[in-house]
Amino acid sequence: MEDLVNIYSDTELTVSHLKNILADNGIESMIKNDFESGVSAGFVAGSPSAVDLFVFAKDVNRAQEIIENFKNDLQK
């Protein structure tokens, strides 16, 4: 099994949007939301604004480039 790498953390909306952008570029990713998981289990873990985006180690460089372009576009 390939290693997953936490590549980005932000709000659920932003991370979901980035997941879609990565998918459009052929990069598989996974979202981990400790806050939602904790609420579902009856306890709270993490922060409601801290959602993590993971990619496979082989895709890290391409994913980082896409994320940097996304962040640069937001600053324009």
Which residues contact residue 10 at a Cβ distance below 8 angstroms, ignoring those fewer than 6 apart? 18, 49, 51, 53
pTM of this prediction? 0.77
Q: Where are the domains of the chain?
A: 4-74
- Cβ(8)–Cβ(69) below 8 Å: no
Q: Which helix (H) or strand (E) holds 61?
A: helix 60-74
Q: Which CATH architecture has domain 4-74?
A: 2-Layer Sandwich (3.30)
Which residue from 74, 38, 76 is spatially nearest to 8, judged by alpha carbons? Answer: 74
Q: Assess whether pLDDT exceeds 90 at residue 69.
A: yes
pLDDT in tens, 34-68: 655 444 444 545 445 689 999 999 999 999 999 99
Helix axes of 12-24 and 60-74: crossing angle, nearest 10 degrees: 120
Residue range 9-24: mean pLDDT, rounded: 96
Average pLDDT, the chain: 85
